[in-house]
Amino acid sequence: MAWPGMEKYQNERIIIHLDYDCFYASVVENERPGLRSLPLGIQQKNILATCNYVARAQGVKKLQLVSEAKKTCPNLVIVNGEDLSRFRDASKKLWLYVREFIWEYKVERLGFDEVFLDVTQMIDFNIANLNLADFPASVLPTCTLASNLACTNADDDKLVEEAADQGIGFFRLSLTDPKRGFSFSWGKLPGHTYPLNDALDLRVLPESDHSSQSLEDDGLDCKVHNDFHQTKHTKHRLHRRLFLAAHFADFLRNSVKETYNYTVSAGISTTKLTAKLAGSVNKPDKQTLLIPAATQSFLDGHEIGKIPGVGFKTAQVLREELLGVVQGGAPEGSSVAEVAFYDKLTHPVTIHDIRRKLTLDRLSQVLDSKEQARKLYGWLHGVDTTPVAQTSLIPTQISIEDTFRSLKGTKQAEQVLIQLVTKLITRMHIDLLSPLPTPTTSTPTPTTSLQRWLACPRTFRLSLRPRDMTGPYSARISKSAPLPRYVFARDSCAEALAGRLVRDVGLPLLRKMGKVGEGELQLVNVAVVNMEESKAGEAVMAGVDIEKVFAGKKVTAEGSRNKNDEDMDWEKEVREIERVYKMLGEKGVEGDHKLAEEIDGISNEEDTIVDGQNLGIVGVMKPIDNQIEPGIGEDLWVKADDNGELSDMDGNGTDIVPAEAPTLRPIAHLRTKSRLDFSELEMEDEVGSPSARGVVCPKCGMGVLLFALEAHARFHEMERREQEK
Partner DNA sequence: ATGGGTCCT
Partner DNA sequence: AGGACCC
Provide the binding-site residues for DNA, judged by CB under 7 A. Answer: 44-47, 49, 63, 82, 84, 88, 110-114, 307-315, 369, 371, 389, 395-403, 427, 461, 471-480, 522-523, 527
Q: Smallest distance from the beta carbon of 12 to DNA, in angstroms?
A: 23
What is the smallest separation between the CB atom of 720 and DNA, expressed in angstroms? 35
We find the least distance from the C-beta atom of residue 310 to DNA, in angstroms, to be 5
Which is nearer to DNA, 150 or 315 (by Cβ)?
A: 315
The torsion defined by the Cα of 89, 92, 94 and 99, in degrees rounded to 10, comes to: -160
Q: Which residues contact 514 (CB under 8 A, 6 or more apart)?
A: none
472 vs 591, beta carbon nearer DNA: 472
Nearer to DNA, 396 or 627 (CB): 396
Other beta carbons within 10 angstroms of residue 308's beta carbon come to 16
In this structure, the dihedral spanned by the alpha carbons of residues 358, 361, 367 and 372, taken in order and rounded to 10 degrees, is 100
Rank residues 49 and 496 by Cβ distance to DNA and give the closer one.
49
Q: Compute the distance between CA of residue 340 and CA of residue 434 in angstroms, rounded to an integer.
A: 46
Minimum Å gap between C-beta 284 and DNA is: 13
Which residue's CB is nearer to DNA, number 407 or number 596?
407
Q: Which CB sits closer to DNA, 47 or 127?
A: 47
> What is the Cα–Cα distance from 343 to 348, expressed in whole angstroms?
7
Q: Report phi then psi at 258, rounded to 5.
A: -70, -40
CA distances from 380 to 5, 211, 300, 553, 706 (A): 19, 11, 8, 52, 58
Reference 415, options 541, 311, 292, 507; nearest CA is 507
* Closest distance to DNA from the beta carbon of 342 (Å): 15
Q: Are 477 and 516 in contact (CB under 8 A)?
A: yes
Cα 534 to Cα 595: distance, rounded to the nearest angstrom = 36
Looking at beta carbons only, is 309 or 435 nearer to DNA? 309
Helix (H, G, I), strand (E, B) or coil at 625: coil
**DSSP-assigned beta bridge partners for residue 640:** 646
Choose among 231, 236, 159, 243: nearest CA to 202.
Answer: 236
> Counting runs of H as helices and runs of E as strands, what totals does the chain give?
25, 21
Residue 344 and residue 315 in contact, taking contact as beta carbons nearer than 8 Å: yes
Residue (337 or 568) nearer to DNA, CB: 337
Among 467, 466, 463, residue whose Cα is nearest residue 479: 463
Strand segments (E) across 543-677: 608-610, 635-640, 646-648, 668-672
Residue closer to DNA (CB basis): 473 or 678: 473
